[in-house]
Structure 1
Amino acid sequence: MTSALTSFYRSLTRHKLFAALNIGGLALGIAVFLVLSLFVRFETGFDRWIPGADQLYIIQEHYHMPGYPETPNPNTMGNELLQLRADYPQLQGTRIAAMDATVRQGTVNTREALAAVDPNFFQMLRLPVVAGDPTRTLADPDGIVVTQRAATSYFGQLSPIGRTLTVVANGTPYTYRVGAVIADMRKDMSYTSELFVPLVASRFATEWFDHWGSTSLVTLLRFPDRAAAHRFEGELARFAERRVFGDNLKKGQWEQSLRPLVDNHLYAASDRAVVTTLGAVGVLTLLIAIVNYINLATARAGLRAREVAVRKVLGGTRRALTRQFLTEAMLTVILSAVIGLALAEIALPLINTLGGMALRIDYWGANSVLLLLVPLVLAVGAVAGLYPAAVLAGFRPAAVLAAARAPGGGRVGARVRAGLVVVQFSIAIAFAIGTTVMLAQASHVRDADLGFRREGLYVVRSLNSGSVLPEQKTALMRAFAALPGVSDVTMAQNAPGDQSLTNFSTMYQPGMQGIRAPSLMDVRVGDHYFDTFGARLVAGRLFNRSRPADDRALRAKGSTTPFNVVINRMAVGLLGFASPQAAIGKPIEGDASMTIIGVVDDLRFLGPRQAISGTFYRLDTRPLNDAFITLRYSGDPQKMADAVEAAWKRIVPTEPFEGRTIEENLYKAYYEQDTRRGRLFTMGAVLAIAIGCIGLYGLAAFDTTRRIKEIGIRKALGASTRDVLQLLITKFLRPVLLANLIAWPLAWVAMQRWLSTFDDRIALTPWYFLAASALAVAIAVLTVLGQSWRVARAEPARALRYE
């Protein structure tokens, strides 16, 4: 062991460049692997830390109708659990209805996340309790459970138990008494809130709470194992036949299934693919670092050939030498791991900021990094050291001592190193292609035509608490319209990045029910809706509030006369019309009789991953519930935001204000997660390419040093500096160019699958591959150019005197 440590120390101090490249490359690879491993563990660990989480299942609904999204909906009708218990008395379940609420403390009003839950909620989800009894608290209709953060925010250092909070929910104030405090919500949890109150039907049930087809809340069930859960899924179909199917929902159009709570966070295939991809980036980056070590260690083997020969002459066995070199490799990996761990610690704050996560490195406990790092060091040390040790221990003493210079591994060694460079750069080029495509897709999403003018739009999102009175909404509309720079104002049930209701109605042309009856999204809009967003009219006309058939606010109660609607371009084809012009003036049937008066271009208010739904718009100039106010303005965005907030506080002083520009709203709702994950991928890819270049630089330094005499002879015989440069660079470019043949098909398959998760996506053209490959080649040339240029310009006489 002492001999190995001495040898290790000498190899570090005598060959500082190669030692720095070896240790630095491995350290970077281990740091990237550790960080992305933490990311994968965070993303795949959602809810798994909750005791008994693997026994909890969410009831989800599927609709099978033309035009209706096929994505399962993890929400149910409000009273489904009560009906299930009536048929299955032993069934264990609980419900959670999430909403925004306002906490009033004197003149201070604070918006908080509120969850109305069943009294057994904390028996089903056993979250850490700080004080009190959550179950007993929720048995009281006026009891409330708060998090530590909320307790500190509202009561300071005083004990919150027994104190009261006034909570405004759905427009009605309630006084609750704090009976328990739980630990703050973790970021790796699907359903979070700051305040938990009992789910009292008289307070939280709407007219749709007991209506099949509505989605009011989340219903969780508990089963002892997956087999029991699977058996109960069959019961859900029989339950639907007894209780659900009728005029509203029909068999074959709707069904329910169970989603494991522990799978909820990554239930979408696109999310699983991204997490898998980033995990693969970590593994492949580490692989590149290992290949670097093998390449540099075998290239340097010749420098230690005489040492090996002398040791063998003095009685050293091949096994002893192999053990010594493996020990050196292990020590190198240990040192690299320590540096890599330090780099990961330093990088985590930046990673958390860019990725919006709460990753951390624990050194003790079930999530200790040592449980990952120790096996990693042993595995990497064995993999990275085995082949170099075998090469070094295999030198023949007589041949080495008789040779004029140290051996370099011969053709076999050169081919192995070239093969490893191909592997490295195949991965690096694939990463470069992936990064290029991701950046292009992100740019496309930012600049794509969404069917409306994005610039100069501001959305007020604080109307949905239920506390804003109709007369206040009307006053807000007048005040916003009077602000300097505002050209249009509208109120609607949606806005870019927001959708308060997702009602779908089955629509059809008279006589075509059962033949072509798609589900169209029903959106109620206010006056100037299409003008505010700058929607493009394709055919017909837009709403005119002076016409009773256009505005539902002007219709007599109980009227059965058809009213007018505007549909989008997607709905034209779904309803079976040959063209937008052909739809104008045609009647359609659904929950009422309607007449199409206009067709507008598709408005992509939802994210780029979601398909545009067929939509029909109804004009309703009354103050809408569950609505958003959108303004079109010109001028400075910050000044407009301040003016809108000031008007809000003047008219609705008791409600906290929330507003954003449309760009901010779209980013928060749909682009933020993809952007953050894309940053992680880009950082991993850049570091992987950098590690590959470190290895290439080391090989170039070694190879050019070994060929100094050869180059001197070539120059003495008339070779120019350009000829020598071409010779040296071409040698290193061959494996890099060959790597493209492997990287291109791999990257094409991976990027094709990733892009398929977007409804609005770029075309995967060859330009991305050519650009990424050109960049990789340019980086490779620049990496070896410095070494090659220095040797190529050396004077022949000095080169011939080398060694």
Structure 2
Amino acid sequence: MLMTIVRGVLRQARRHPVYVGLDLLGLALGIGVFLSLALLVRYEYSFNAGLPGVGRLVRVDEHWTPAGVVPLEEADATFHALPFLRQDFPEIEEALRLLGTTFRIERDGKFTRFDGYATDTSFFRVFGIGLSRGVADDALSRPDGLVLSEKAAMKAFGTLDVLGRRVELNRSGERSAHVVTGVMRPVRGPNLLANTEMVVPIPGEEERTRSCFQYWGSSCGEVILRLKKPEDIDAMRARMRDFVIRHASGAENDHVAIGPHPEKMYQLLLVPLRQTHFYDVNVEDSDDGVDRNVVNAIGLIGFLALVLACANTVNLATARAGLRAREVAVRKTLGATRRLLFVQFMGEALFVTTIAGVVGLVLCEILTPEIASLTGEAVTVSYGFVLAVLLVVIVLSGLASGFHPAAVLSGYRPAAVLAAARMPSGGRGAARLRNSLVAGQFAIAIAIIICTLVIDRQTAFMRNADRGYEKSGLLIGQQMRGSDPVLQRRLLDTLRSVPGVVAVGFGELEPAPHSLSHTIYQYAGPNGPVEIQMLFDRVGSGYFEVYRPRLLAGRWFDPMRGQDEGPDAGNLQDGTGSFNVVVNAKATVKLGFSTPGQAVGQVLTAGGLKARIIGVIDDVRFVSPRDPVGPEILFFDTLSRVPFVNPIPAVRFQGVTRAVMAERLNRAWTSVTPDLASNFQPADERMAAFFTGDERRGHIFTVGAVVALLIACMGLYSLAAFSAIRRVHEIGIRKTLGASGGQIAILLLRDFLRPVALACVLACPVAWVLMRSWLSGFDQRVSLSPLHFLIATAGAFLIATLTVLGQTFRVARAEPARALRAQ
């Protein structure tokens, strides 16, 4: 039987090479795309799975629900809670604090960057990580200890034998000497530690001075717990509200506590580390969040590519089934049973699918690195996974694509076939099936094309959308650590003296901000008091000229007016004083004003602190397009009273290229703060992380759209080829009765394109629902325009027309006498 199957396939390949070639190409393409995208989906779903005991690891998140703002969840949590967590929850086996940071090693005036953490000695016990050099329990026990990843050891020293080496680290301008005490083994698979290059103990000075170590609600890093059992998480969640009430409550003037009733606005949530990759898409202060629906959609595209390929095989096999009718009739006359023929034809389908699977595996090898490059993920071909999936795919695809053609072929009646003058067509049922398959193929392809167009437009819109400030001619520096007013004035003067600089200004917020500070303000409105939480920013002279926000009402700060000078640290801590402020448009809406002008002159209060609104600016978007812009209040500082705290310089320039200006500014920065690396960037580069994920995954949709359309065209070609063969006699009669070649061509095109028209009707509503749901996740988004649907449908019709044009003209130009004689 095996030799019969092989001979049957080879015979068909010799007789109908185009059909067999399209069959193999379509199946191989579908299998290759399916395997490649399955590897990507597997990669995304396996995030953190390689961490030993990951089922017992949880992260502590802070969840805020203050009045007047959208609820907010942060991946960072207060370190002040950790000793109380250990005390109240015996379920905790180990715990640690993770303070994400950037280290630099300076050599010959150049900095080499390393990403890592300042953390606790329990780091290796919590994550279960081993060391290839050193002892894990002792590696962070000394305050100057330093653990490197193997990659970092090679980058810094060119060898893994680095124990005892001394190195000076520069951390945001602060230098510290360390001794290498260990080298980490790499952790299998994607995880939150994949890019960790250095680990050091948390400096004691930070524990004594930073607010996130001392106060509730102040956060600067992650808290990770290792529980004794996975089911302990539910028991801890049930008692977490009482924990917050017991430890985070205090009087209004208690700066350590949140307030007398912290549970009304503050929660601590426990998030399993295994779930954070998808969970973090709507969590602040997290870098690895991915939309699960997008990943599932990518997997669906791979599955649909395989389904389209199988449908294409059914179409092609059905189209040439009539060409084998006499073969079946003769074999049945010679004694072959229907069961024997069914097994043979199913065997042929499985044999062809096996060949296509091998070719698909080769395509997977080619496509996977390209997909990894498009998405920026470290996806590789895992042969254990791929071969297991490939075997299942070959069997299921062979059965799915071969069952119907085998049933049709083995069911032919010898007498009817041998007595007929024409080959059998399968009747109306077979025609409906073929048309339905083509319509389904094009419906899927058109839906993916529409989704791709919308995604591409949304990602382009996110990059180029109005953010409330002028992006061109703007460069933004990094945080200037500390609060030294002399150094800050010197830096401003130095930057202003750079040729090409138009204006320089300080702010404490910037595009893609490092941290956000909020304060609750009250407004005694005519309809009763209104309380809202407002984002706090302090700006300096030159800020307005640098960012150029749009002033909607009132005026901007004036350095000559003393009342415009903002509060100092004592005023903010004690909640005293009266100052002028500028707010954004969102704040006026939340405060209940119908126009920005109505807010000018009104007074906001925060305890004893009074803030009089002198101006309203349009909303400035420093956050992701997915997140809404919140109410914001701006104070003014000229450095005459108090220094800024970790200010961010911004520069407006003209007359030179961006690269030249960035180089000049970096040199100027180095002359003032040589210990801190400089990197002046455009706003788009600072906010790139908000866009690149969607852009990269949009490329996958583009690949899927091309593949789906290509396979659909193969199915349409098979239908056109089959119809052309079946209708030669009909066309001959029509031309004999006077029909022109043009009329025949139009008739055939209309019949060929009818399934495509049906596909458009099916695809558009589905794509509209999917894209409407996806766009709803963005605060700043494009409208769902009919143009996307028109472009996709028009493109599908054009490609479909070009696909069948050759068959149409060939049949339409046939000579009637030859066509009738051939039948």
Q: Check whether TM > 0.5.
A: yes
The correspondence of residues 702-717 of structure 1 with structure 2, limited to 5 A, is 702-717=722-737
Which string of whole-angstrom CA distances, capped at 9 and with x for unpartnered residues, describes residues 435-493 of structure 1?
A: 121122223323322211121111112x35x3796544433322322223221211212
SS of alignment partner, residue 390 of structure 1: helix
Q: Does 1:16 find its partner at 2:32? A: no
Name whichever of 552-561 and 309-318 sits farther off. 552-561
Q: 8 Å contact 2:46–2:189 — kept in the other structure?
A: no
Q: In structure 2, which of residues 527, 531, 535 is the aligned counterpart of residue 521 of structure 1?
A: 535
Structure 1 CA distance for aligned equivalents of residues 569 and 248 of structure 2 = 33
Shift of 1:187: 7.5
Shift of 1:763: 2.0
The correspondence of residues 253-652 of structure 1 with structure 2, limited to 5 A, is 253-267=265-279, 268=281, 271-364=291-384, 368-461=385-478, 463=479, 466=481, 471-496=486-511, 498-510=512-524, 515-552=529-566, 560-590=576-606, 592-622=609-639, 624-634=644-654, 635-652=656-673
1:227 aligned residue:
231
Structure 1 CA distance for aligned equivalents of residues 669 and 801 of structure 2 = 60
Which string of whole-angstrom CA distances, capped at 9 and with x for unpartnered residues, describes residues 382-419 of structure 1?
A: 11111111111111111111121321212111111111
Distance 1:114 1:132, change over 3 A: same
The correspondence of residues 25-36 of structure 1 with structure 2, limited to 5 A, is 25-36=26-37
Q: 8 Å contact 1:501–1:626 — kept in the other structure?
A: no
Q: In structure 2, which of residues 678, 681, 684 is the aligned counterpart of residue 657 of structure 1?
A: 678
Distance 1:106 1:799, change over 3 A: same
Q: Does 1:195 find its partner at 2:198? A: yes
The correspondence of residues 129-140 of structure 1 with structure 2, limited to 5 A, is 129-140=131-142
SS of alignment partner, residue 562 of structure 1: strand
Distance 1:554 1:233, change over 3 A: closer
Q: 8 Å contact 2:50–2:189 — kept in the other structure?
A: no
Distance 1:489 1:628, change over 3 A: same
Q: In structure 1, which of residues 127, 130, 134 is the aligned counterpart of residue 129 of structure 2?
A: 127
Distance 1:225 1:747, change over 3 A: farther
For 2:359, the aligned partner's letter is: I
Q: 8 Å contact 2:585–2:618 — kept in the other structure?
A: yes
Q: 8 Å contact 1:509–1:588 — kept in the other structure?
A: yes
Distance 1:451 1:735, change over 3 A: same
Unaligned runs of 5+ in 2: 253-257, 283-289
Name whichever of 769-778 and 622-631 sits farther off. 622-631
Q: In structure 2, which of residues 653, 673, 695 is the aligned counterpart of residue 675 of structure 1?
A: 695
Shift of 1:789: 1.5
2:87 aligned residue:
86
SS of alignment partner, residue 794 of structure 1: coil
Distance 1:225 1:757, change over 3 A: farther
Shift of 1:713: 2.2
Distance 1:108 1:772, change over 3 A: closer
Which string of whole-angstrom CA distances, capped at 9 and with x for unpartnered residues, describes residues 54-86 of structure 1?
A: 221111111112343424211111121112112
Unaligned runs of 5+ in 1: none
Shift of 1:105: 5.0
Distance 1:562 1:8, change over 3 A: same
Distance 1:210 1:555, change over 3 A: closer
Shift of 1:151: 0.8
Shift of 1:241: 1.0
Q: 8 Å contact 1:491–1:629 — kept in the other structure?
A: yes
Distance 1:283 1:67, change over 3 A: farther
Give the number of equivalent residue pairs.
796
Structure 1 CA distance for aligned equivalents of residues 189 and 536 of structure 2 = 34
Distance 1:186 1:91, change over 3 A: closer
Structure 1 CA distance for aligned equivalents of residues 29 and 184 of structure 2 = 40
SS of alignment partner, residue 266 of structure 1: helix
Q: 8 Å contact 2:49–2:189 — kept in the other structure?
A: no
Shift of 1:555: 9.8
Q: Does 1:788 find its partner at 2:802? A: no
The correspondence of residues 39-118 of structure 1 with structure 2, limited to 5 A, is 39-89=40-90, 91-92=92-93, 93-105=95-107, 107-118=109-120
Structure 2 CA distance for aligned equivalents of residues 27 and 477 of structure 1 = 62
Q: 8 Å contact 1:493–1:500 — kept in the other structure?
A: no
Shift of 1:107: 4.7
Name whichever of 342-351 and 33-42 sits farther off. 342-351
TM-score when normalising by structure 2: 0.93
For 2:8, the aligned partner's letter is: S
Which string of whole-angstrom CA distances, capped at 9 and with x for unpartnered residues, describes residues 234-254 of structure 1?
A: 111111111012333432211
Which string of whole-angstrom CA distances, capped at 9 and with x for unpartnered residues, describes residues 165-205 of structure 1?
A: 21233543222211111135778212442111122443455
Name whichever of 594-603 and 521-530 sits farther off. 521-530
Which string of whole-angstrom CA distances, capped at 9 and with x for unpartnered residues, describes residues 516-553 of structure 1?
A: 21111111222221221121101111111232222238
Shift of 1:125: 0.9
Structure 2 CA distance for aligned equivalents of residues 730 and 581 of structure 1 = 62
Distance 1:468 1:563, change over 3 A: closer
Distance 1:158 1:188, change over 3 A: closer
SS of alignment partner, residue 549 of structure 2: coil
Q: 8 Å contact 2:30–2:309 — kept in the other structure?
A: yes
Shift of 1:693: 0.8
2:248 aligned residue:
244
Structure 2 CA distance for aligned equivalents of residues 394 and 201 of structure 1 = 83
Q: 8 Å contact 2:456–2:695 — kept in the other structure?
A: no
Shift of 1:224: 4.5
Shift of 1:317: 1.6
Structure 2 CA distance for aligned equivalents of residues 762 and 559 of structure 1 = 42
The correspondence of residues 763-774 of structure 1 with structure 2, limited to 5 A, is 763-774=783-794
1:163 aligned residue:
165
Identity score, percent = 38
Shift of 1:88: 2.8
Q: 8 Å contact 2:328–2:412 — kept in the other structure?
A: yes
Shift of 1:144: 1.3
Shift of 1:89: 4.5
For 1:739, the aligned partner's letter is: A
SS of alignment partner, residue 180 of structure 2: strand
For 2:491, the aligned partner's letter is: L
Which string of whole-angstrom CA distances, capped at 9 and with x for unpartnered residues, describes residues 724-755 of structure 1?
A: 11111111211111122321221121111100
Structure 2 CA distance for aligned equivalents of residues 744 and 233 of structure 1 = 44
Structure 2 CA distance for aligned equivalents of residues 187 and 581 of structure 1 = 56
Q: 8 Å contact 2:567–2:579 — kept in the other structure?
A: no
Structure 2 CA distance for aligned equivalents of residues 774 and 580 of structure 1 = 46
SS of alignment partner, residue 119 of structure 1: coil
Shift of 1:259: 0.9
Structure 2 CA distance for aligned equivalents of residues 200 and 400 of structure 1 = 89
For 2:605, the aligned partner's letter is: E
Shift of 1:712: 2.2
Structure 2 CA distance for aligned equivalents of residues 555 and 155 of structure 1 = 44
SS of alignment partner, residue 491 of structure 1: strand
RMSD: 2.3
Structure 2 CA distance for aligned equivalents of residues 186 and 669 of structure 1 = 25
Distance 1:73 1:46, change over 3 A: same
SS of alignment partner, residue 114 of structure 1: strand
Q: 8 Å contact 1:549–1:555 — kept in the other structure?
A: no
For 2:504, the aligned partner's letter is: V
SS of alignment partner, residue 657 of structure 1: coil
Structure 2 CA distance for aligned equivalents of residues 549 and 476 of structure 1 = 26
Name whichever of 272-281 and 262-271 sits farther off. 262-271
